[in-house]
Amino acid sequence: MVQFALLDWIWMILFLALMIGCGVLFYRLGKRSESDFFLAGRGLPWWLPATSVYATHTATDTPMWVTGVIYKYGLTGIWYSFFAAWCAISAFVSTRIFRRSLAYTQAEWQSLRFTGLGSELLRGWVAGWQVFMNMFIMGWVGIAMGKVCQYAFGWPTWVGLIAFSAICAIYVLAAGYWGVVMADFQQGIIALAAILIVSIWGMIAAGGPGGIINRLKTLNSSCEWVIPKDVASDALIRITDPNTGTVWAQSENPVPILKKDDPTSTEQNQQYLEKLDEKVGQILANQAGLKNKQVQILFPAGQDTLIAGFTYSIVWTAGESGEKVNLDYSLDQGKSWINIDINHYNGQTWRINPFSFSGFTQGQFPVAWFITMMIIALIGGFGMGTSIDWYTEAQRIQSARTVRDASYSIWWGTALVVIRNSIWAAAILGFFVLFPGIGETGKYELGWFRLGFDFLPAGMVGFFFAAILAIHLSTISTQLNLGALYATRDLYQHYLNPEATEQKLIWIGRFSTFLLLLGSFIFGLMMEEITKWLIFALWIMAAGVWLPNILQVIWWRFNAWGYLASWIANLGLSWLVVWVLPAFGIIPELPDYLQFWALMLLTAFIYLPITYLTKPEDMDHLVKYYVMSRPIGFWGPVHKEAVKRGLLAEVQAVG
């Protein structure tokens, strides 16, 4: 429990007053027109959208996510955040194309790129999808804030979820995007200052960079073991050579495992479970084991009782077993063995190497996954919608005053994100050496927050919490305004009331903002039950439309029916490939990167024939779009037609 001093309360109250003041200050600007309420009048210099890009993508759940991958994979985990590199390409390709189109949203862009019934279906689908996604993202980020408040103050999670998002809604309802972007500028500065202070403070507490490296050298080897929920028997653990199969070590006695729903596992052993992380940390730090040339499993041992469904750290002395080992467990006294990890590094110094891959296709972090991520990130920059972040960036792109400002805003905003992730990564290595024995993901994900709450002096904790609020409010405000934009512009105005006045649209935007806020509370409160399904929706269900999101930008012949087919096919095939077929044993359970490639290939066999079997988009419509947006890629026939009509030369002459 964190106790606030007077100065801590002053920090927090001043910050909240500053944010609400933004709503009051920019109320008059936000109410002038729909363009002002949702795009700040398209007149912002590049550095304002850039700080908004950075602030928006520094959410309450972001340090948890970065902490999780760095604590588990070391600096290799930083590649998980490299998907942001799509912005480096997009800043000079799709960003410029989208800004020239003058579309308010990605859904509106679909109606500029395509035509006819297919275009209308696409606009409605994308708009509805984005209204849903913005509520989901706010629920996800909101429950993360609830968990932080629960750790820091002991509050129920719903308090942190609802209270601060409701405060944020005040300035979003009042000033719209003007309030969002001006608050983001201040929040981005506060958040970056706090990230630097807390991260440096945490690294100093861990002994500084040199002390962290030296500490990693003194720790024994460890590997995460997620025990399946249905296990209810004693287990043996062994360590073998990846190349020869030589058994380096095996449990001397079976380790008892209790069912997760066993009353003794949740009541009588609760105190034991709370102390287990500390015990494992002490075993990891037992330097006597490093001097032992014999490979020996230190944890778990026969006297340690484990519980199915939980994650534990297996600890062993590397001895003379080489650079990497395989780990297995047996539930039938060694007659058959089940893999825990392949090609796992011995010791802990591998954590400081960002290229500590486990093999090309094997292990928990293979090179094949890395290559897949690089392709997704870099080539994805040529498309629109290849990342869930695109829809947020699209609003920043259209709020910039020129095409050049839009490009600069995306590039520099992403640069700040990459720098931020690197600072966090270094701090989390410090957290690992301070608390090396944490097994459960939900516990070590709070690592960066613990560095602030546990190590900052009184008076600075309030500033830290104000920065957490800045991190939280910047994301919530963006998703509120963005979701309201899709609901107002693409659903209400386009389908229900095309003749609505500017003032009518602003009030519909405010009403939509309020409904989105309520929806986010519902999603947040049920998040623990639906997270795995929605992560599936975000990652795997988007795999089949990744390439179509690029084709719609670079290929003139790709039409609305092909794009719609890719969405429909992907929705069905993703369930088959990820859940249904493996459940019936028809195909094995595939790793994430193979699921991505499989879905991309399978959906292509559906949408490409449909594209060729249906008519191209109307040439007049394509020429108009081409002249306005000037896309790159395979647009030869449209380019020739534009030149033939004299339209391209006219645009070039104008500038």
Q: Is residue 244 part of a domain?
A: yes
User: What is the model's pLDDT at position 271?
Assistant: 60
More confident residue, 21 or 460: 460
- Tallying the residues shown for the chain, one arrives at 655
Q: Is residue 53 part of a domain?
A: yes
- 478, 505, 525 - which closes a domain: 525
Look at residue 621 and tell me whether its pLDDT is greater than 60. Answer: yes
Could you tell me which of 534, 538, 540 has the C-alpha nearest to residue 589?
540
Round to whole Å and give the CA distance between 312 and 132: 36
pLDDT per position as a tens digit, 127-136: 999 999 899 8
324 shares its domain with 375: no
User: What is the model's pLDDT at position 303?
Assistant: 81
Round to whole Å and give the CA distance between 363 and 190: 39
241 shares its domain with 268: yes
User: What is the model's pLDDT at position 10?
Assistant: 86
User: What is the model's pLDDT at position 208?
Assistant: 94
Look at residue 343 and tell me whether its pLDDT is greater than 70. Answer: yes
User: What is the model's pLDDT at position 290?
Assistant: 56
62 shares its domain with 139: yes
Look at residue 655 and tell me whether its pLDDT is greater than 50. Answer: no
Could you tell me which of 327, 162, 365 has the C-alpha nearest to residue 249?
327
Identify which of 111-125, 158-172, 517-531 has the greatest average pLDDT.
111-125
250 shares its domain with 392: no
Look at residue 533 and tell me whether its pLDDT is greater than 90. Answer: no
Residue carrying the six token digits 């900052």: 456
Q: Is 646 helix (H, G, I), strand (E, B) or coil?
A: coil
Pairing verdict, β 257-258 and 306-307: parallel
In the sheet that holds 236-240, the strands lie side by side as: 247-250, 236-240, 324-330, 338-345
- 289, 320, 347 - which closes a domain: 347
422 shares its domain with 302: no
Look at residue 82 and tell me whether its pLDDT is greater than 80. Answer: no
More confident residue, 535 or 204: 204
Identify which of 183-192, 300-309, 627-636 has the greatest average pLDDT.
627-636
Residue 485 CB partners (closer than 8 Å, separation 6+)? 38, 104, 105, 395, 509
More confident residue, 499 or 539: 499
Look at residue 464 and tell me whether its pLDDT is greater than 80. Answer: yes
Q: What is the pTM of this model?
A: 0.88
Round to whole Å and give the CA distance between 627 and 644: 12
Residue carrying the six token digits 């020996």: 296
Could you tell me which of 483, 373, 378, 515 has the C-alpha nearest to residue 94?
378
More confident residue, 575 or 400: 400
Q: Is residue 41 part of a domain?
A: yes
Look at residue 264 and tell me whether its pLDDT is greater than 90. Answer: no
610 and 559 Cβ atoms separated by less than 8 Å: no
Q: Is residue 213 part of a domain?
A: no
pLDDT grade for 653, boundaries at 50, 70 and 90: very low
User: What is the model's pLDDT at position 439?
Assistant: 80
Among 112-121, 466-475, 593-602, 631-640, where is mean pLDDT lowest?
466-475
How many secondary structure helices (H) and strands (E) does the chain include?
A: 29, 9
Domain that holds residue 121: 6-207+365-525
297 shares its domain with 396: no
Return the CATH number at 398: 1.20.1730.10
Look at residue 473 and tell me whether its pLDDT is greater than 50. Answer: yes
Look at residue 304 and tell me whether its pLDDT is greater than 80. Answer: yes
What's the domain count of the chain?
3
User: What is the model's pLDDT at position 654?
Assistant: 38
pLDDT per position as a tens digit, 590-605: 888 898 999 999 999 9
53 shares its domain with 166: yes
pLDDT per position as a tens digit, 31-57: 778 888 999 889 999 999 999 999 888
Round to whole Å and give the CA distance between 36 and 47: 18
339 shares its domain with 450: no
Cis check: omega of the bond before 366, within 30 degrees of 0: no
- 286, 312, 347 - which closes a domain: 347
203 shares its domain with 230: no
Could you tell me which of 453, 452, 433, 435 has the C-alpha nearest to residue 444?
435
pLDDT grade for 19, boundaries at 50, 70 and 90: confident
User: What is the model's pLDDT at position 104?
Assistant: 95
Round to whole Å and give the CA distance between 532 and 512: 27
Helix (H) or strand (E) holding 299: strand 296-299
17 shares its domain with 93: yes
Query: Residue 287: exposed, middle, or buried by beta-carbon count in 10 A (0-12, 13-18, 19+)?
Result: exposed
Could you tell me which of 507, 621, 105, 392 has the C-alpha nearest to residue 497?
507
Look at residue 556 and tell me whether its pLDDT is greater than 90. Answer: yes
Mean pLDDT of all residues in 55-84:
87
Look at residue 262 and tell me whether its pLDDT is greater than 70. Answer: no
209 and 76 Cβ atoms separated by less than 8 Å: no
Q: Is residue 545 part of a domain?
A: no
589 secondary structure, DSSP code: P
pLDDT grade for 209, boundaries at 50, 70 and 90: very high
Mean pLDDT of all residues in 191-201:
93
385 shares its domain with 488: yes
74 shares its domain with 157: yes
Token pair of 30 as six digits: 């936000």
Helix (H) or strand (E) holding 225: strand 221-226
Q: Is residue 555 part of a domain?
A: no
More confident residue, 528 or 628: 628
Mean pLDDT of all residues in 193-197:
93
What percent of the chain has pLDDT above 90? Answer: 50
Q: Is 178 helix (H, G, I), strand (E, B) or coil?
A: helix
pLDDT grade for 270, boundaries at 50, 70 and 90: low
Q: Which amino acid is at 327?
A: L
Could you tell me which of 533, 537, 540 has the C-alpha nearest to residue 603?
540
Q: Is residue 138 part of a domain?
A: yes
Look at residue 356 and tell me whether its pLDDT is greater than 50. Answer: yes
Task: For the chain, state the CA radius of gyration.
Answer: 27
Helix (H) or strand (E) holding 164: helix 157-175
Pairing verdict, β 311-317 and 306-307: unpaired
User: What is the model's pLDDT at position 267?
Assistant: 47
pLDDT grade for 81, boundaries at 50, 70 and 90: confident
Q: Is residue 447 part of a domain?
A: yes
Mean pLDDT of all residues in 121-148:
91
Mean pLDDT of the chain: 87
